[in-house]
Amino acid sequence: MSVSYKELGLVNSRELFSKAVAGGYAIPAYNFNNLEQIQAILQACVETKSPVIIQVSSGARKYANAVLLRNLAKGAVEYVKELGYEIPIVLHLDHGDTFELCKDCIDNGFSSVMIDGSHLPYEENIALTKKVVEYAHLHDVSVEGELGVLAGIEDDVVAEHHTYTKPDEVVDFVSRTGVDSLAISIGTSHGANKFTPEQCTRDENGILIPPPLRFDILEEIEKRIPGFPIVLHGSSSVPQDMVAIVNQFGGKLKDAIGIPEEQLRRAAKSAVCKINIDSDGRIAMTAAIRKVFAEKPSEFDPRKYLGPARDALKELYKHKNLNVLGSAGAA
């Protein structure tokens, strides 16, 4: 028996995106795999009055079990009411790779899906994306497609270099597929090692400065499809203070470099209206847990280390909404 996201009080992303583009901010898209992560995301977004996209990857489904995970998400609307302020919540499939996976999510309460055909030849990407759009739109579910390939690991596919999105392809892709939003490649990548030190320059204090995102490509894309919702994946900033805590307490995060916050702020003010962040949350949780383990070695109650991890995550996401994405106060 299938369930519509509307019965659950969730919303699709279409309306949120048009407001975000007009308002010059981006909706946060935070990944979750467990209870503490969804609690932190919802608490942060309620406290900052921000709309939110909570997203589930294939890896999350394998880790936590798809049925358990979506039931956790289904409690989200009631949970925010209990927290005292109702915010719009989108439940999104991150990096869906098959029609069947997207259909399963659409039939089970997701209000938005990504079909990531970016590794396929262009015409195959179009055919797969169009098929998902046709099914999703019957259910008023929004669809994100992707053009261009991010460097690094994406969907178990390793790409050594970015294949930047070609502005000349976007009108054709968007019109032939009917997607509601488009993920693009302009220099971001997944994970905590987005650049090697050799790709960076140093400022006067010796701090590594990564190469800037390709705003020229973003601008070209905006000219071709004005006001169309653009999505940025791989948008963690890899906060160096958190990396330092991880390493101080026994971790080995080497050469961890992310996208500077000012660049994401600039992107959020443009047609970029969804920004995906996962790795920063992982680093924040790891830092908090390592600290507890190092300082309180006799502690063995999971709530005593997952609780601080949840709190650290919540603070991180509040900061993102307030100072990076600009989504605070939009709900």
The residues assigned a catalytic role are 94
Dist CA 326 CA 311 (whole Å): 21
Q: How far is the CB of 57 from ligand G3H (least distance, A)?
A: 4
Nearer to Zn ion, 177 or 189 (CB): 189
| Contacting range for Zn ion; rule: CB under 5 A; set: 5-13, 59-67, 173-181, 231-239 | 231-239
**Which residue is associated with the tokens 């936590």?**
64
Question: Is 29 a binder of ligand G3H (CB under 6 A)?
Answer: no
Question: Is 60 a binder of ligand G3H (CB under 6 A)?
Answer: yes
* Exposure letters 208-239 (e unless 16+ CB within 10 A, then b): eebeebbeebbeebbeebeebbbbbbbbbbbb
Question: Is 74 a binder of ligand G3H (CB under 6 A)?
Answer: no
Dist CA 89 CA 46 (whole Å): 11
Question: Is 192 a binder of ligand G3H (CB under 6 A)?
Answer: no
Bridge partners (DSSP) listed for residue 144: 114, 181
Dist CA 232 CA 185 (whole Å): 8
Question: Is 112 a binder of ligand 13P (CB under 6 A)?
Answer: no
226 in helix, strand or coil?
A: coil
Which one of residues 12, 31, 108, 286 is an interface residue with ligand G3H (CB under 6 A)? 31
Residue ranges in 27-66 that form contacts with ligand 13P under rule CB under 6 A: 31
Question: Is 233 a binder of Zn ion (CB under 5 A)?
Answer: yes
Dist CA 206 CA 76 (whole Å): 44
Residue ranges in 90-129 that form contacts with ligand G3H under rule CB under 6 A: 94-95
Partner from ligand G3H, ligand 13P, Zn ion, none binding residue 181, C-beta < 5-8 Å depending on class: none
Q: How far is CA 5 from CA 43, 73, 114, in A?
A: 21, 11, 16
Q: How far is the CB of 165 from ligand G3H (least distance, A)?
A: 17
Contacts of 42 (CB under 8 A, 6+ apart): 52, 54, 76, 79, 80, 83, 89
Please report the sign of the dihedral spanned by the C-alpha atoms of residue 178, residue 110, residue 268, residue 253.
negative
Residue ranges in 68-97 that form contacts with ligand 13P under rule CB under 6 A: 94-95
x/- mask, ligand 13P, residues 254-293, rule CB under 6 A, reads: ----------------------xxxxx-------------
Residues that bind ligand 13P (CB under 6 A): 31, 94-95, 190-191, 233-236, 276-280
